Structure 1
Amino acid sequence: LGAGVLAIAGLLAGTPRASALLLAVTGILALAQWLAWKPWAARRVPLLWVLYVGYLGLGLGLLAGAAQLAGYVARPAWPAHVIGVAGFSVLIIGMATRTAMGHLGRPLRADRSMVLSYALVILAALLRLAAQVPTGAALGLLHASAGAWALGFGLVLWPFWPWVILPRAAAAAQPAAARGPSRPVGPVL
């Protein structure tokens, strides 16, 4: 984290080469940490592997940023898309589903629609990066990426919608007396 902050400070100070080195160190540390977590052990648990994939995206994005600052990446938007789509978007959809299931009293198990939504967001990241390559297919890849991303985030709502509008699973299993009063307690304004 410290090297990343110093890299940003270096950019603000106008020293892109030093920032490139610091971003490379940050990216290497992130990938070393990712490897130390043994992500292959979570390959059968979608609620976990999606988080590992997102963290991998962040580490690779930091390295792409270092390469771009050092002059090795011709497309300046590449690092931002690796970090934003392959990193944060994948982490957000993974954390949102996991956290929501916990708060809604549901077992922490991803169903097929959730796994498909994870795959669509990862596909969106790959298509977005492919769209950066200057070809005649770039615009089509960009549109396909946007569609996969929107569909992935939209599809994740499928199992959650009924859970959100119905009573919490743990509360529904309790007798009515244990849940407390069914109307507000106190003065009604």
Structure 2
Amino acid sequence: MTQNTPLHRACIAVARNVLWRNGATSSDIVETLARKFQAIAEEHQDFVRKQREHDDVIADAVEYIGHVHALPTGTDTEWFRHQLAALIEIAVPNTGLSEDAAKLLPHLQEGIRESQADVPVQRSALRMEDEEAKEIRRLEEAGVEHGAVSDLLDLVEKLYHGDPLDDRDKRLFQLAALAAPMTRQARS
């Protein structure tokens, strides 16, 4: 069990949050509970590592739980196990969905959009480099010149913001994916 990692620090934060009612809880008690949370979190590592390039999603999910769901419950860990499993299932799907179960996904996307809109944006993320400005100008000119490029830019905007795609969007996405290798071949 590795300490001083993002996962361990997130588990410490969750432990502090759930123990705050006990007053000045000793660091030993916090550390012991954090190790229990970390052991639960590490149960997801093999699966996540097979699906993703890294397992940062686990530490991010624990951080989210610590910020949003950690209530002063004392040393119980079952609630943590269930909440983490639900978040990991959403972030790294393991089960195919039925049509009825998939009805929740647009609601999740809407909630995610609302939550992301509340997150402060770092000033550095708003700065645009000269090369980025040139690329944006080139895309804008292509969009004005060719309607298909404009449609693709609209689709990319929806994808970027997590907006739900309608049937027309999905069809355009599919056609663009099919056209990509042909376009690369033609350009080469």
The interval holding the TM-score normalised by the smaller chain is: under 0.3
TM-score normalised by length of structure 2: 0.28
